[in-house]
Structure 1
Amino acid sequence: MDFSALALSPPLLQVLEELDFKTATPIQAQSIPVLLQGRDLVGQAQTGSGKTAAFALPLLQKVQLQHRKVQALVLCPTRELCAQVAGEIRRLGRRLPGLQVLVLAGGQPIRPQLEALEKGAHLAVGTPGRVMDVLDREALETRQLSTVVLDEADRMLDMGFREDMERILGAMPPRRQTVLFSATFPPDIEALSRDFQRQPVRVTVEAATAGPDIQQVRYDCEPGDKQALLLRILRHYQPASAIVFCNLKATVVELKKSLSASGVSVDGLQGDLEQFERDRVMAKFRNQSTRVLIATDVAGRGIDVEALDAVINFDLPMQAEPYVHRIGRTGRAGRAGLAVSIVTPRDGRKVDDIQLATGVKLERGDVESLPSADPRNAVSLESTWDTLYISAGRKDKMRPGDILGALTGEAGGLEATDVGKIEIQDHVAYVAVARRVSRVAFQRLSEGRIKGRRYKIERVK
């Protein structure tokens, strides 16, 4: 379905045209008309299906810009997903003058978020814990709130947020629109819908079967040979960016140590990290200063990285559903994707379940054809980028062009090709710079000014 057939306002259609979004995805085509009517909805869709725009466009269509009160709340399981959803809403709403989208998430001080609420915002995106905190302080005015969206509801339940979700929904105006998106529909989700929705429309987009754009390969080995095989796989495919999934936090720590010792640009993501550490790990991975990220399923929730070359299952998950969710992160937007699984003799049942669920037989890779683990003839798996941290962000009126100008202008003297991805968060920013000039870039930014001011600059290790 063409977006022009969806009764969206001219400013939204103009943005969609600018972004070259012409045809709605199935979840968008089925959800947007229902949500524009104000009806409750239960949507079943995987990450990468376009579900954010499916609820964001109706929210933006209905927002009353003259009333600077929170009119819609989106709940997400992680701070990273909150940032992504808020960024997408801002991008789609950039032709709506004065639109204010606020993130209410933990891992950072609550005071600036409370101050932003006092000044007024139209839409809020938050994690259950922080939203509960804000409600307990009576800082969130709910009288104008007409829509609540629960994004990735099944993951919020998995993470133990059920009580918070129920309390938040119970604190919202009774006559509201309640929207629930979830990749799976266990009994807990059905119960949540039954208790808090009114005659919801059910929209189901078939679970991704790890489609034709993803090559799925298995390499077989004995359990004791998995680490050496992983290194050989990375040297063979040489991905610029790859996520390696494990089932245990201890495996993440162990693999990070062994791959780093073998010269791989690698970092780990597991539940014990402080939020600021997690932010830095993800910023480096998104801008390819880190090539390989090792994660558990729980720590990996909310990760959504553009142009991910490969997903590697160091450990196969216990069920097929997480496998589909893992590998759905590669092969996006028409690009070819790669999913590699390391299979031991004890994984036979898991492989059968995955092949049955996806309808795809895993292609057998030839272990003998992989490069040896001998470091003397190995290709480099280091990154050519470093990351610099800047102590100012969007709320400080910092823009990507300001940072680029400071690095490539007369004072900075770098070539534009030496500057990679620039990521602006609320109060900090990250910029990738070519490793060969990173020392110079650090010195120029530390000694110089951005928009006439000096900021704290750090190299992110």
Structure 2
Amino acid sequence: MKQNDFFSLSLSKELLAVAQDLGFEKLTPIQAESLPHLLAGKDLIGQSKTGSGKTAAFALPILEKIKVSERQLQALILCPTRELATQVVGEIRKLGRAHQGLQVLSLVGGQPGREQAEALANGVHIAVGTPGRVLDLITRRRIDLDGIATLVLDEADKMLDMGFEEEMNAIVRELPQKRQTVLFSATFPASIQAISKRYQKNPVQVTISEDEASSIEQYVYDSENEHKVGTLMRILQQHPANSTVVFFNTKASVKEVSDLLTEQNVPCGSLHGDLEQRERDTVMTMFRNGSYRILLATDVAARGLDIKNLELVVNFDLPSQPEVYIHRIGRTGRAGEKGVAVTIAHPRDSLKLLEIETATGSKFKRQALGFKNQHGLGKSLKEAPMQTLSISGGRKDKLRPGDILGALTGEAGGLKAEDVGKIEIHDKYSYVAISAPMAKTAFERLRAGRIKGQKFQIKII
């Protein structure tokens, strides 16, 4: 039995069966190094990049020791952003699906605090939240922390960067002294070492040194500021991809490019700080499920995003620090896949580019942009493979992905399973991706029919 095999771990049969169902076979480096220590109950400080499998690394030990029969909070996970918290909740629910009655709750802003407080009062086993909302619930005495056996600080460096140190300290002061404390961070600055010293007891340190840029082809194209939008259009033609994220330094530039792409009937989504949580959820759902092939985002709005199978990252604006560049491009070229990162730079940016090359240990490739038609985009970019339907019911209505799939592929729906893409269930609404040619048919049949015996409002987004 190999040590990088899930079945080499001292996990319950139920958890191993779920891991097998989910297609987990080999442990990622961070899982292989950290899981044995975490399952033994030790404190741990782990360094690894986003997308390395660290959520399962801390979630499996929590699920292994959770007592579902005791309806009290037993684990608290703090994340820097709502998006990351939502992803972690989804992952824990998937991994914990054999735990009958397991209650996992998201504690984030942008959602009603009263409903979260009511859920806590009814009994929750695991809470995943942002520091601001968790501290708010503690201050209002709406959360009982006495039963917490595990605290996880996920992406702790980002929480510090975003100014959450005071909130983190205030939360930890309220927790039981006897607990397991797990800290994950992409970098190990002095501030992280200080937090570890303050919160942890004899922690095991695990560092996974991965070359972020090793599987990523990096290109740079020079452009004067007034020609950048045209340069971007030519880049999108020269580097065709099924999924592209374009990073900007300002939301004004996001809007300018979004308006231009929309004029050309290119399906794209925008992510910036002015969006409400429901709008952000919709944009990210449509990008993940193939209804949008292009996502335009500012760095602040994109924090905590974990996007699978991302083929192309474009830096419309050069980031201020090499670390930001590394973090941006690290979202592509994952899990052994090749990725492409393209940067638009001003001719005067040579020093900044040199700093980035030094930080990544790799050189930019330079080549001519072969497309003269600056604003015209190819037909392929205008044809997203999927369209998204929204359904006015979700987890609170006891809806599950199988219910929606059944309504679409059953006798009344009549669709083939291959016409149905990703299904996402939120508390009060759900999204389902449908192959573009069948979207109108699916919409009409769902609107005329029922899901799990209930009528819901259906919309094509």
Q: TM-score range by the shorter chain?
A: over 0.9
Q: Secondary structure at the match of 2:317?
A: coil
1:150 to 141, 149, 153: 153
Task: Give deviations 1:180-238, integer Å, cap 9, x for gaps.
Answer: 111123333233222222232222111543223x2222222222221111111112333
Residue number in structure 2 paired with 1:403: 404
Distance 1:371 1:116 in 2: 58
1:257 to 241, 255, 259: 259
Determine whether 1:308 maps to 2:328: no
Distance 1:235 1:207 in 2: 31
Task: Give deviations 1:24-55, integer Å, cap 9, x for gaps.
Answer: 22211221122223222211111011111111
Distance 1:409 1:37, change over 3 A: closer
Q: Secondary structure at the match of 1:364?
A: coil
Superposition map of 1:130-209 within 5 A: 130-209=133-212
Residue number in structure 1 paired with 2:287: 285
Distance 1:376 1:61, change over 3 A: closer
Per the normalisation by structure 1, the TM-score is 0.94
Residue number in structure 2 paired with 1:49: 52
Residue number in structure 2 paired with 1:457: 458
2:356 to 351, 354, 360: 354
Determine whether 1:20 maps to 2:23: yes
Task: Give deviations 1:338-361, integer Å, cap 9, x for gaps.
Answer: 211122212212221221122111
Task: Give deviations 1:132-187, integer Å, cap 9, x for gaps.
Answer: 12212322211110111010111122222222111111111122221111112333
Instruction: Quote the offset at 1:272 in angstroms.
Output: 1.2
Which amino acid letter does the alignment assign opposite residue 442 of structure 1? F
Determine whether 1:414 maps to 2:415: yes
Per the normalisation by structure 2, the TM-score is 0.94
Residue number in structure 1 paired with 2:368: 366
Distance 1:41 1:251 in 2: 41
Superposition map of 1:431-450 within 5 A: 431-450=432-451
> Conserved in 1, the CA contact under 8 Å of 2:149 and 2:180?
yes
Instruction: Quote the offset at 1:436 in angstroms.
Output: 3.6
Which amino acid letter does the alignment assign opposite residue 420 of structure 2? V
Instruction: Quote the offset at 1:379 in angstroms.
Output: 5.0
Determine whether 1:385 maps to 2:415: no
- Runs of 5+ consecutive residues of structure 2 not aligned to the other structure: none
> Conserved in 2, the CA contact under 8 Å of 1:208 and 1:324?
no
Residue number in structure 2 paired with 1:267: 269
Alpha-carbon RMSD across the aligned residues, in angstroms, is: 2.0
Bigger CA drift: 88-97 or 141-150?
88-97
Count, aligned residues: 458
> Conserved in 1, the CA contact under 8 Å of 2:244 and 2:293?
yes
Determine whether 1:94 maps to 2:97: yes
Moved over 6 A (4+): none
Instruction: Quote the offset at 1:371 in angstroms.
Output: 5.6
Residue number in structure 1 paired with 2:325: 323
Distance 2:8 2:376 in 1: 58
Distance 2:378 2:286 in 1: 27
Distance 1:143 1:105 in 2: 21
Which amino acid letter does the alignment assign opposite residue 450 of structure 2? R
Q: Secondary structure at the match of 2:110?
A: coil
Identity fraction in percent: 54
Instruction: Quote the offset at 1:259 in angstroms.
Output: 2.2
Distance 1:443 1:22 in 2: 41
Q: Secondary structure at the match of 1:178?
A: strand
Task: Give deviations 1:321-350, integer Å, cap 9, x for gaps.
Answer: 222221121122332222111222122122
Distance 1:177 1:350 in 2: 42
Distance 2:114 2:174 in 1: 22
